[in-house]
Structure 1
């Protein structure tokens, strides 16, 4: 409940769908459970497009998508992340792809908070955004 935009219903729904968090070795297993695992559509020498698998728990992915939309509208850090994903120079994402990436990021944040017992740190969450050198010199 430290994250602005995440309520008690979200946390309880997440825990109800996931169950015991200690049975997962890493957050990628949780992403696979939710259907957010990346799969590549390739055959032989043909390298296809990489998409999410969508082979997971439907209620969990619905819950994560709803909370991702809420976070983008109410939370400054997640809004910055969404803007970065949609406007970056190399490989900009479409808005729906960005929301799915934010849902996957939220899984990693929840996993770290529940397994390591750490508090939510907004600075650490947005630390993977690569800011241009112009912004770094102005700060």
Structure 2
């Protein structure tokens, strides 16, 4: 068999499609294997480089293959899609992955360590519990509104308002709706307790990781943002400079240029929405102390607010913090404010 330079693998739960390219980027190998045969088949193929589309379980298989001294690259799905031609099937998907793996301009996805994947899982479970808590609050507020009882918006308003509503004997609530609201309030308390436990877990994890401890010294960066950045970015060495990370997260202006003319629009909002949200919210929280911020950083924040308003200033500060976090991760240094 001709030497395989790039082996593209389309991963699924139980069936894996393999496509190998030679030096001239011609297809010289195709195989469809079951899960139990996957590792043995890939190792026997003897490919110089293995390319996998970043998807469910891709980090697991990448770690296992690297443990067997294989060169493994994960590619972002939106970069693979343009190379997919013909009908949608596993064979064409594997071919598209292999062809995309020959493009040096595509920035790969960092293979997550078990620690990083654990942290990302913790964040995802916390976010799911947060959504469930919001659903309970919205349902209770909606039911009460049908009886003419309106609660303040927000978690704290719900936490304070429900006991007062249940104890008020003069409102129009029947015994049945009171029992239902009390049950929803119990669900809210259970979910709220889980949220607080996850927050404590995230803070404990942040204290155990050197980068997260250094990152939390930056204004607007807390334990949640620091651990999310650590788990999402993974390897700072994949980026040549901080601006590339900001663009990857979606915090730089969109660009439309032709010839000598260039137009800049709103931020692209590419990449991880969750990480971008944390960065912007952290920056927005820091802006509440803008008048008391010292040094050049404080002067820059106040100038941004005066020129662009608080919303754009928050995004600009999130952009700056992203570049600082990349520098801390890449250089291994502590934060030194100007």
Greater CA radius of gyration, 1 or 2?
Answer: 2
Number of residue pairs aligned between Structure 1 and Structure 2: 119
Matched, 1:30 2:245: yes
Q: Which moved more, 1:14-23 or 1:39-48?
A: 39-48
**Structure 1: 5+ residue stretches without partners:** 124-139
The answer for the alignment partner of 1:137 in structure 2 is: none
Map of 1:19 onto structure 2: 234
Give the corresponding residue for 1:134. Answer: none
Task: Determine the structure 2 residue equivalent to 1:56.
Answer: 271
Cross-structure match for 1:119: 334
1:132 is matched with which residue? none
Q: Does 1:72 align with 2:287?
A: yes
Partner of 2:316: 101
Higher relative contact order (CA 8 A, sep 6+): 1
SS of the residue corresponding to residue 288 of structure 2 reads helix
Residue 301 (structure 2) pairs with residue 82 (structure 1): yes
Tell me the CA shift for residue 43 of structure 1: 6.3
- CA drift of 1:44 comes to 7.7
Counterpart selection for 1:40 from 255, 262, 273: 255
Q: Which deviations, in whole Å up to 9, do the C-alpha atoms of 1:7-48 show, x marking residues without a partner?
A: 222210111221222211111221111111222345688754
Which ranges in structure 2 are unaligned for 5 or more consecutive residues? 1-215
Q: In the alignment, is residue 2 of structure 1 matched against residue 221 of structure 2? A: no
**1:38–1:52 CA contact under 8 A, matched in 2:** yes
Q: CA RMSD in A?
A: 2.4
Higher strand share: 2
Summarize deviations over 1:42-93 as a string: whole Å, max 9, x none: 5688754433212221111101111111222357255543211122xxxx21
**Greater shift after overlay, 109-118 or 73-82?**
73-82
CA change 1:8–1:47 in 2 (3 A) is: closer
Q: What's the secondary structure of 1:54's corresponding residue?
A: coil
Q: Secondary structure at the match of 1:122?
A: coil
Find the counterpart in structure 2 of residue 135 from structure 1.
Answer: none
Flag the 1:99–1:42 CA change in 2: closer, same or farther, 3 A.
same
TM-score normalised over the length of structure 2: 0.32
